[in-house]
Amino acid sequence: MTKKTRARLYIDCPLAKGGQASLSKDQAHYLRNVMRFELDELVTVFNGRDGEWLGRIAELGKRAGLVILQSQARKQQQEPDIWLLFAPIKKARNDFIVEKATELGVSSLWPVTTQRTQSGRINKDRMITQTVEAAEQCERLTLPEVHDGAVLQKALEDWPADRPLFILDETGDGQEPAKAFPKYAGKPAAILIGPEGGFDPNELEMIKAQPTAISISLGRRILRAETAVVAALSCWQSLCGDWR
């Protein structure tokens, strides 16, 4: 059973027994002033590559800190390879998508501009920060890759032939997730969520012309983009994911 600590941090450095992990100014501030940690207390750290480790706080100043790694709490595990392509929306709701998609285990986040996309501004650094915070909170062992924003047509030009692209088709012309998803359990896949107002008909036709495209439907109701993300990824994780 994994020993629980009061804080869990992502640290981008090699992790091994007896090794040292430096804390950033923000991390040191969080432990020292927010969580009120003291020297020799244990924290949990991970880097997305070497599993999860317990470490002892050896230094904790105003601008930096140091953790000495003691033992591995969890080995690195392979996670489902599911990408999320989504049309950016308003700031707070976009933040919600990034956070919940990370919690629900996506391996890649890819903002794409469609004909009806109303918000084309993407702050990649902000997205990365949000994935770190969400991964720390939900105890996943990796961070999703965050892509630069791209026009949808450009993103699909060199689409990998071994990765099915599940399109959330708001017209209702799609398979039920329970029928479509299980066929691809354990394989790479991607889910595409459209913008507010849905895909343009010509655009939807272009997407469906992709050799790997598979239309899915979440039912009769028209869902907000962020609701559709959570619903689709929850279905994927339930049917094909690593929840067991």
User: Domains along the chain?
Assistant: 8-74 (2.40.240.20), 82-240 (3.40.1280.10)
| 3-state DSSP assignment of residue 21 | strand
Question: Where is 168: in which H helix or E strand?
Answer: strand 165-168
Burial label, 125 (beta-carbon count in 10 A; 0-12, 13-18, 19+):
exposed
Residue type at 242 in one-letter notation: D
Per-residue pLDDT of the chain (244 residues; tens, 9 = 90+): 567 899 999 999 999 999 999 999 999 999 999 999 999 999 999 999 999 999 999 999 999 999 999 999 999 988 889 999 999 888 888 999 999 999 999 999 999 999 888 776 788 999 999 999 999 999 999 999 999 989 999 999 989 999 999 999 877 678 999 999 999 998 999 999 988 888 888 998 999 999 999 999 998 888 889 999 999 999 999 999 865 4
Answer for the pair 50, 76: CB distance below 8 angstroms, yes or no: yes
CB 139: neighbour CB atoms within 10 A?
14
